[in-house]
Amino acid sequence: MKKPSASASMAAKLQRYARSKVAVAVKRAPKSKVKRRSHVTLGPCKSTQPLVKRSRFSWLPPWIHLYAERGSVHRCWEGHRLKKDRQDGRVHRECIFCEKKQDSGSSILACRICKWTLCTRCADERPRLPPLRDDPLFHGPTQPRLLPVSRLNAAGGNGTVIICPGGNYEFLVPQEGMPAAELLASHGIRAYVLRYRLLPKYDLQDMLDDLEAATALVRSTHGGPVAAMGFSAGGHLVASLSIQRQSKTKSRTAKQALDAQVLVYPCIDASDWAHEEWCGFSNWKECYPVAKETMLVGREALCGGDGFAAPPTLMVASTADEASPPKEHTDRYAKALRRHAIPYTYLRRDFGAHGFGLSGGWTKRCISWLQNRGFGSTAASLVVDGAEGGA
Ligand SMILES: [Zn+2]
Ligand SMILES: [Zn+2]
């Protein structure tokens, strides 16, 4: 996987950023001082410690800054504040989000430097992500946590889905977290977002510990079945759980194993993470040495070799995805699922560039697939729970 979740332009910017090899100076704690054991807790984020020191925020990659998507002030991709303007039909482009060009003379918000244009409808109605300072996925670097859905709470349904956002194992992409959990909750399926630990302080085994502990925690809290939904690097994490933990004793496996998984533009072949040019980390100097050593564990099995294991799977992949192209990733996984007679559904078409998130029309199939496997209940009532705040 060469680029983490982002639109095509975001991905191109990220790649340039990664190649510049400008490192965010995160001091790596000595191994002995790093808390290795997973202590996943459940509840809203309590941590005020960001992943990166505030003084280093300006070095963050644009797909984490997400100026255009976060907070109440509308900004362009570069972070310039948008100003009220009139569509002149010439300089102003179509709206960046709905891709519609407003009639000449109609009100818009625009950045005069970048020519970024936003229609008033998208400005008013499009859901916003939390500002960086309030984003639970950008805090608590040492505290893995299952974050409850902030606005809706699915009551009465069976089973739980654990959402694992992508972010190249260095960050957690917010649009692959809470919006996915809220979507499932709005259909009566209980869901949590897993904030797992990240590179460079922690490695793949620590992240797997977090997912395993989270699976056991929701099973003991709510009963089964338990599924995980992973996007991009999160998809690699989810798929790796069944591969790397199958040798454990039966009692452990039963509690901590997944009953189903949803992999959305997952990275299956992890070889890019061990490639100096393509690992794609913004904090390259710190992350690359750890990734190189740990990300390839289980690679052969994950790509369909000896030791392949998986629960029933729904996979979503886009033919326009240049970061995790289906031919190199999900096609190989689908072939292995078929060979092992594991039930699976593979949604493969042009959903857009890597990082298309919940768009493209795949979510409806996903919800009915989960419901058919015993998740949620059509009779489940939705309870508005204002007490479960986001940050
Ligand atoms: Zn619009
Ligand atoms: Zn701008």
Ligand 1 centroid to Cα of residue 259, in Å, is 40
Ligand 1 centroid to Cα of residue 321, in Å, is 24
Ligand 1 centroid to Cα of residue 274, in Å, is 40
Ligand 2 centroid to Cα of residue 356, in Å, is 23
Range 238-241, long-range pairs (CB < 8 A, 24+ positions)? 238/164, 238/211, 238/262, 238/263, 238/266, 239/263, 239/266, 239/268, 239/302, 239/310, 239/333, 240/204, 240/208, 240/298, 240/302, 241/208, 241/211, 241/212, 241/215
Angle at which helix 233-244 crosses helix 204-222, to 10 degrees, equals: 80
Closest listed ligand to the CA of 101: 1
User: Which CATH number does the domain housing residue 178 bear?
Assistant: 3.40.50.1820
Ligand 1 centroid to Cα of residue 97, in Å, is 5
Residue 264: domain span: 36-60+131-384
Closest listed ligand to the CA of 96: 1
Bridge partners, 81 (sequence order): 75
Ligand 1 centroid to Cα of residue 125, in Å, is 9
Ligand 2 centroid to Cα of residue 224, in Å, is 48
Euclidean distance between CA atoms 179 and 156, whole angstroms:
21
Euclidean distance between CA atoms 141 and 154, whole angstroms:
28
Ligand 1 centroid to Cα of residue 100, in Å, is 6
**Residue 61: its pLDDT value, please?**
86
Ligand 1 centroid to Cα of residue 71, in Å, is 17
Q: Among residues 128, 155, 174, which one ends one of the domains?
A: 128
Whether residues 80 and 208 fall in one domain: no
Q: Could you tell me the sign of the dihedral formed by the alpha carbons of 14, 16, 21, 24, in that order?
A: negative
Any domain includes 30:
no
**Residue 57: its pLDDT value, please?**
86
Whether residues 105 and 203 fall in one domain: no
Euclidean distance between CA atoms 255 and 218, whole angstroms:
10
Any domain includes 190:
yes
Ligand 2 centroid to Cα of residue 13, in Å, is 15
Ligand 2 centroid to Cα of residue 9, in Å, is 14
Whether residues 55 and 83 fall in one domain: no
Express the helix, strand and coil content of the chain in percent, nearest 5 each.
30, 15, 50
Ligand 1 centroid to Cα of residue 118, in Å, is 6
Beta-carbon neighbour count of residue 283 at 10 Å? 26
Which pTM was predicted? 0.85
Distances (CA, A) of 55 to 25, 50, 131, 143, 172: 10, 11, 16, 22, 20
For the chain, how many structural domains are there in total?
Answer: 2
Range 90-95, long-range pairs (CB < 8 A, 24+ positions)? 91/115, 92/117, 93/117, 95/119, 95/122
CA angle in degrees (0–180, nearest 5) for 36-41-46: 100
Whether residues 100 and 210 fall in one domain: no
**Residue 88: its pLDDT value, please?**
86
**Residue 131: its pLDDT value, please?**
93
Any domain includes 11:
no
Closest listed ligand to the CA of 82: 2
Whether residues 120 and 173 fall in one domain: no
Whether residues 229 and 360 fall in one domain: yes
Ligand 2 centroid to Cα of residue 114, in Å, is 4
Ligand 2 centroid to Cα of residue 67, in Å, is 10
Whether residues 123 and 251 fall in one domain: no
Whether residues 244 and 343 fall in one domain: yes
Whether residues 242 and 120 fall in one domain: no
Any domain includes 26:
no
Closest listed ligand to the CA of 110: 2
Any domain includes 136:
yes
CA angle in degrees (0–180, nearest 5) for 332-208-205: 100
pLDDT per position in the chain (391 positions), as tens? 444 444 444 444 444 434 333 333 333 444 545 556 789 999 999 899 999 988 888 888 888 999 999 999 999 999 999 999 999 888 888 999 898 988 889 999 999 898 899 999 999 999 899 999 999 999 999 999 999 997 665 556 899 999 999 999 999 999 999 999 999 999 999 999 999 999 999 999 999 999 999 999 999 999 999 999 999 999 999 999 999 876 555 555 677 899 999 999 999 999 888 888 888 887 888 888 888 888 888 999 999 999 999 999 999 999 999 999 999 999 999 999 999 999 999 999 999 999 999 999 999 999 999 999 999 974 444 443 333 222 2
Whether residues 356 and 233 fall in one domain: yes
Closest listed ligand to the CA of 118: 1
Any domain includes 322:
yes
